[in-house]
Structure formats: C-alpha cells, structure tokens
Amino acid sequence: MRMRSKRWTDQELANNPHVIKDAEEKKGHWAEYFGNDHPIYIEVGCGKGNFISKNAEKYPYINFIGIEKQHTIIGIAARKAGDLPNLALIETDAKDLNELFEVGEFQRIYLNFSDPWPKRRNYKRRLTYREFLVSYRALFGEKGEIFFKTDNRSLFEFSLEEFSADKWLLSHISLDLHHSPYAAENIMTEYEERFSSMGMPIYRLEARFGVEPDPMPSSAVLPAADEDTETPLAIQAAE
C-alpha cells in the first residue's frame, strides 16, 4: 500500500528517537545500542507498527527492530512507538539486512502480510522465495526461526514449498489463524485487523532450521481450536 507523504513525516522521522538514522553503523553493536543482551526479533515490513509496538510492550525482555521501506508508513509506526526502550525502527529494504546486522545478531524474523507479488514472473521478489531464505539463513548463523502470516493463499502455498525446499522445519501451522489455538496469543497488524474482519482466513506458520523437531506434533500439545471435536474428559475416561 502506498500513501501520500504526510506533512509531518519528515519531522517525525528526524526527531523520533526510535528511528535509527545511522543503522549501518549499529551493525554488530545492537546489544550496545539497547544496553542489554536480550534476544533481538526483527519484523521485515513492519508497516504502521501496530504489531511490533504491541509486541515490544508485551515482551519487555525482547528487543524488537522493525524495518519498513515506505517513508510515510514508517513515520506512522514511529508515532506509535511511545517510550518503549526495546523498540527500534529502520527505514530500509529487506534486501539490506546484511548491511544492518552481523551473523547471529538477531534470533527471529517476522514476515507479516508481505507483498504476494501475484504474477508468476515476479516470484523471485516474494520474501519467502528460496533465495531470500538462503540469505536469511546465512545471516542467522547456526539456527534461526521465521514466523510468517498472510491472507494470501497462493503466497502461503508458495511459502510452504519454499521453506520445505530449503529444508526448514515447519510447525505451528494454521490455515485459519483467528479460529485456531494460536488466536489467543496473536497480535494483529493493521492490515490483519481490517482483512480478518471481512471473515477471510489468515494463514500462519513457524519455520526453523538448526533445531531438532519436537517429538510431539503441535496439534497434540495445543488446546484444540474447536472443542466440539473433543470428547469431554469425563466421557473419555468412561469409554
């Protein structure tokens, strides 16, 4: 989504302490910047910042860095950042991650409602295309994890294949996030709030490398999405 530049955007981006102007100089020094060695989670394409600022509020012992290439949009995200010490924002492109981080400097990537690039000939631009996955993997180092959600069915199908082709371990998959066991913990993006209120399903997955699969599938651990499909414990015992 593109927006016309708002009059206050330049001023907000210039003055807001969450917006990192010399981000390349922080490469290798993010722990120093945050003043602690907490894990760092980044959101590639943080949009207006609802997701990342709510996460930063909810999880004070995680540092969050939001990356967004659209000038006006990240201006809005900056306004929402309040006085959260564990939140930083960078106006840049996903392609530039190498210039912002040393290998192993962050532990998780969120990809929320990334551009689906629906035309076939553009598949290499999708942020879950295997060449992107390879580059994320290189930057993660020994292990890493990506939390991905989208409303776009084709992008989700494509992403499942790409993660699999690059040998990531898939788990915690939902084809209808808002009616799943993951809904309770889910923090929505602005786009997600609007889109899901129309009743359309949201798809999500977690992808990891460098770790062993859990011995139990997620669905055997999580509370059931629809308790109707479960027999109450009292009846189970009597069966």
What is the total count of residues that contact its own copies (CB under 8 A)? 42
Which residue, 14 or 224, is less far from its own copies as judged by CB? 224
Q: Is 174 in the site for its own copies (CB under 8 A)?
A: yes
Which residue, 92 or 150, is less far from its own copies as judged by CB? 150
Contact 171, 206 (CB under 8 A): yes
Q: Which stretch binds its own copies (CB under 8 A): 48-56, 76-84, 87-95, 171-179?
A: 171-179
Nearest to 74 by CA among 33, 117, 107, 43: 43
Nearest to 133 by CA among 148, 118, 119, 122: 148
Give per-residue burial for 2-16: e unless 16+ CB within 10 Å, then b: eeeeeeebeebbeeb
Give per-residue burial for 222-235: e unless 16+ CB within 10 Å, then b: eeebeeeeeeeeee
Q: Is 132 in the site for its own copies (CB under 8 A)?
A: no
Which residue, 72 or 180, is less far from its own copies as judged by CB? 180
Tell me the per-residue interface mask from 66 to 105 with its own copies, x by CB under 8 A, - otherwise.
----------------------------------------
Q: Is 236 in the site for its own copies (CB under 8 A)?
A: yes
Q: What is the CA radius of gyration of the chain?
A: 19
Please give the residues from 189 up to 228 whose contact with its own copies meets the rule CB under 8 A: 203, 205, 213-214, 217-220, 224-225
**Rounded to whole angstroms, how far apart are CA atoms 146 and 136?**
9
Nearest to 106 by CA among 66, 134, 69, 144: 144
Q: Is 214 tagged catalytic?
A: no
Residue of 22, 83, 115, 151 marked active site = 115
10 Å Cβ neighbour count for 191? 17
CB of 178 to its own copies, least distance (A): 13
Q: Is 161 in the site for its own copies (CB under 8 A)?
A: yes
Which residue, 14 or 222, is less far from its own copies as judged by CB? 222
**Rounded to whole angstroms, how far apart are CA atoms 226 and 180?**
8
Q: Which residues are catalytic?
A: 115
Residues of this chain that bind its own copies (CB under 8 A): 118-121, 123, 129-130, 153-154, 156-158, 160-162, 164-176, 203, 205, 213-214, 217-220, 224-225, 229-231, 236
